[in-house]
């Protein structure tokens, strides 16, 4: 209803401006007595009738097309969406029709009563109708943007939905704001030099020029402002959304309310952000499977540059395994077993991450962690030993239902991608891995549940080495030479 009032008001003002220009600005013969009487009756009558018909016609047509928008939670179907997006064009065609009828009516009236005013009347009413209809179209489009946003909320804009792109819209702005007034000025000049128009004085032409210039300035500013808003508003929405995405808010979406190339930009931005969200989810899932460091390294290389094989490097390996998990599983239900395992894995993963290690794989109820690969870590031995101590302390308190053995070994390993080019994993292979696994079995019988190779203690700095004491030696399975052992100093003294 507010839109109807706005459009009716715009057309009434336009009719008044056309009447003033046609009566006093156009250098044509002054209306005779019969013409004045006819216009005094015809203009108010037609304007009233046209306004009433246009209000009823436009309001009922718009409400019929937008009825779904008055119902909360109702999404339009394809037909309703198309009809809603055509409302500005429908109302514009309706107004052009009313102005065309008026042009024909007053032109015929002029032919009958005063033929010398035919050209001025026909052209001024026609140009006035074009300008008023164009401005009304822009008002309607801006007013119905919330409706357009709802109509386009669940569709991807891939083309010109409303049939008007940015280029044609610019042409419309120029035609209405500059072209039409200049044509009016041209008409005035033509009428002044044609037979019957030589009575036009220099003062009359000056008045015509002043009026046309004022129209150009006024309507030019109005249309330029509307033009700027129609172009800048979608761009600002995308710019602000880009800043939000840059700040890490990948849940940002732009409301699509424009059916031109600007709407394609808004929709394309939403598609891009949706792709970024999906990519981030895949990246996060990938990182949870292989570790964030491995995922980051793979992302830096790219899918085509990842190769099978590995490199030899010195790192520290931590292996942790539950004690009595099989017995616990037979005496408790699956829900309780899973809850215990999740608490156990939670402690292990938390401490490995906190000490800059990589949880390489879960092996049943055991965990293999690496310190110093794939990202180099200068104090990898100290980090692995510190993680083992913190892990043992937390498991004793947070997972008292079962025990755990933790083994730490330091040495050379081969770290890299193992498998097939279609399916591989990052892992470490070498004596340090085997030693850590053997030490884990022995650690289950050691006070404190942690056993490390003395090589790890020697590789660690003095601050971490102070927490460890020698614990003899043992020949690990698969080796011929004895391995010097170390346990926590507090557990050794106990």
User: Where residue 468 sits, what CATH number does that domain have?
Assistant: 3.30.70.1230
Q: Are residues 238 and 365 in the same domain?
A: no
- Residue 278: inside a domain: no
Q: What is the pLDDT of residue 474?
A: 92
pTM of the model: 0.53
CA distance 388 to 452: 9
The dihedral built from the CA positions of residue 90, 94, 96 and 97, taken in this order, carries a sign that is positive
CB 475 within 8 A of CB 483: yes
Beta-bridge mates of residue 403: 323
Q: Do 230 and 318 belong to one domain?
A: no
The answer to whether position 156 is within a domain reads yes
Separation of alpha carbons 101 and 11, rounded Å: 14
| SS3 category, 322 | strand
pLDDT of residue 202: 63
26 pLDDT band (50/70/90 cuts)? low
Last residue of a domain, one of 193, 212, 246: 246
Domain annotation covers residue 279: no
At 434 the pLDDT is 92
Which pLDDT score is estimated for 494?
A: 41
One domain, residues 367 and 489 = yes
What was the pLDDT predicted at 198? 46
Do residues 316 and 239 both lie within one domain?
no
Residue 36 lies in a domain: yes
CA pair distance 6, 47, nearest whole angstrom: 15
Backbone angles phi, psi at 388, to 5 degrees: -65, -45
Quickly state the pLDDT bin for 459 (edges 50, 70, 90).
very high
Contact 371, 315 (CB under 8 A): yes
pLDDT at 303: 47
DSSP alpha helix (H) spans, 114-201:
118-143, 145-151, 166-174, 180-193
- Asked if residue 354 and residue 232 are part of one domain, the reply reads no
Are 86 and 223 members of one domain?
yes
Among 222, 246, 270, identify where a domain stops: 246
Q: Are residues 236 and 379 in the same domain?
A: no
Of 246, 268, 292, the residue at which a domain comes to its end is 246
Residue 126 confidence (pLDDT):
80
* Most confident region among 47-56, 115-124, 125-134, 463-472 by mean pLDDT: 463-472
Looking at the structure, tell me whether residues 200 and 333 fall in a common domain: no
Residue 66 counted as domain residue: yes
What is the helix (H) or strand (E) element at residue 456, kind and residue range? Answer: helix 454-459
- Please give the residue that has the higher pLDDT: either 82 or 314: 314
Is 454 part of a structural domain of the chain? yes
Same domain (yes/no): 225, 314 = no
**Domain annotation covers residue 192:** yes
User: What is the pLDDT at residue 493?
Assistant: 45
* Range list of H helices, 379-453: 380-398, 431-443
pLDDT tier at 491, thresholds 50, 70, 90? low
Q: What is the dihedral of CA 367, 373, 376, 379, to 10 degrees?
A: 40
| Average confidence (pLDDT) over 303-315 | 68
- What pLDDT, on the 0 to 100 scale, is given for residue 449? 92
Same domain, 189 and 47: yes
Measured between alpha carbons, how far is 301 from 307 in angstroms, rounded to an integer? 10
User: Is residue 472 in a domain?
Assistant: yes
**Structural domain of 39:** 2-246
Q: What is the pLDDT of residue 297?
A: 53
Q: Is 484 helix (H, G, I), strand (E, B) or coil?
A: strand
pLDDT value of position 230: 78
* Same-domain status, 239 and 320: no
Compute CA distances 47 → 21, 36, 54, 128, 259, whole Å.
17, 16, 10, 14, 33
pLDDT, the chain, mean:
81
Query: Do both 340 and 465 map to the same domain?
Result: yes
Domain count, the chain: 2
What's the pLDDT tens digit per position in 338-388? 889 999 999 999 999 899 888 888 888 899 999 988 878 889 999 999 999
**Tens-digit pLDDT profile for residues 179-214:** 776 776 776 677 666 655 445 556 666 766 776 677
* Alpha-carbon span 290 to 348, nearest angstrom: 15
Classified as helix, coil or strand, 346 is helix
- Report which of 413, 458, 417 is spatially closest to residue 314, judged by C-alpha positions: 413
- Cα 66 to Cα 83: distance, rounded to the nearest angstrom: 8
Output the pLDDT for position 68: 84
**Out of 60-64, 170-174, 254-258, which region has the weakest mean confidence (pLDDT)?**
170-174
């Amino acid at each position: 209803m507010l839109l109807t009032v706005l459009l009716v008001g715009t057309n009434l003002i336009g009719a008044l401006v056309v009447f003033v220009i046609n009566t006093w600005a156009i250098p044509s013969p002054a209306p005779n007595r019969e013409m004045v009487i006819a216009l005094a009756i015809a203009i108010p009558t037609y304007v009233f009738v046209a306004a009433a018909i246009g209000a009823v016609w436009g309001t009922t047509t718009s409400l019929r097309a937008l009825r779904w928008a008055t119902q909360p939670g109702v999404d339009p179907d394809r037909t309703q969406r198309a009809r809603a997006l055509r409302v500005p064009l429908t109302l514009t065609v309706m107004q052009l029709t009313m102005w065309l009828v008026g042009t024909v009516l007053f032109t015929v009236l002029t032919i009958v009563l005063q033929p010398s005013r035919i050209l001025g009347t026909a052209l001024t009413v026609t140009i006035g109708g074009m300008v008023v209809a164009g401005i009304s179209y822009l008002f309607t489009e801006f007013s119905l943007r919330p409706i357009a946003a709802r109509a386009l909320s669940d569709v991807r804009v891939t083309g010109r939905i409303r049939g008007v792109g940015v280029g044609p819209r610019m042409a419309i702005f120029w035609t209405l704001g500059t072209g039409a007034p200049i044509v009016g000025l041209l008409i005035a000049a033509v009428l002044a030099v044609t037979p019957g128009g030589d009575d036009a004085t220099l003062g009359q032409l000056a008045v015509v020029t002043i009026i046309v210039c004022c129209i150009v300035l006024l309507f030019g500013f109005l249309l330029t402002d509307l033009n700027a808003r129609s172009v800048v508003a979608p761009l600002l929405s995308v710019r602000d959304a880009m800043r939000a995405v840059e700040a890490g808010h990948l849940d940002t979406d732009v409301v699509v309310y424009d059916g031109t190339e600007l709407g394609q930009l808004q929709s394309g931005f939403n598609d891009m952000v949706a792709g970024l969200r999906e990519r981030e989810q895949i990246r996060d899932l990938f990182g949870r499977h292989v570790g964030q460091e491995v995922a980051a390294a793979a992302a830096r290389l790219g899918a085509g540059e990842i190769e099978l094989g590995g490199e030899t490097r010195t790192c520290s390996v931590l292996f942790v395994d539950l004690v009595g998990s099989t017995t616990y599983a037979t005496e408790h239900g699956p829900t309780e077993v899973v809850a215990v395992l999740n608490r156990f894995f939670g402690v292990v993963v938390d401490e490995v991450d906190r000490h800059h290690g990589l949880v390489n794989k879960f092996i049943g109820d055991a965990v293999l962690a690496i310190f110093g690969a794939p990202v180099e870590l200068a104090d990898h031995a100290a980090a692995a030993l510190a993680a083992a101590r913190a892990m043992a302390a937390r498991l004793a308190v947070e997972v008292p239902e079962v025990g755990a053995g933790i083994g730490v070994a330091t040495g050379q390993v081969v770290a890299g991608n193992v498998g097939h080019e279609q399916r591989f994993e990052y892992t470490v292979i070498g004596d340090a891995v085997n030693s850590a696994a053997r030490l884990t079995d022995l650690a289950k019988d050691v006070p404190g549940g942690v056993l490390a190779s003395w090589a790890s203690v020697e590789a660690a700095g003095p601050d971490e080495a102070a927490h460890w004491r020698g614990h003899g030696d043992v020949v690990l399975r698969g080796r011929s030479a004895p391995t010097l052992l170390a346990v926590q100093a507090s557990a050794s003294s106990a």
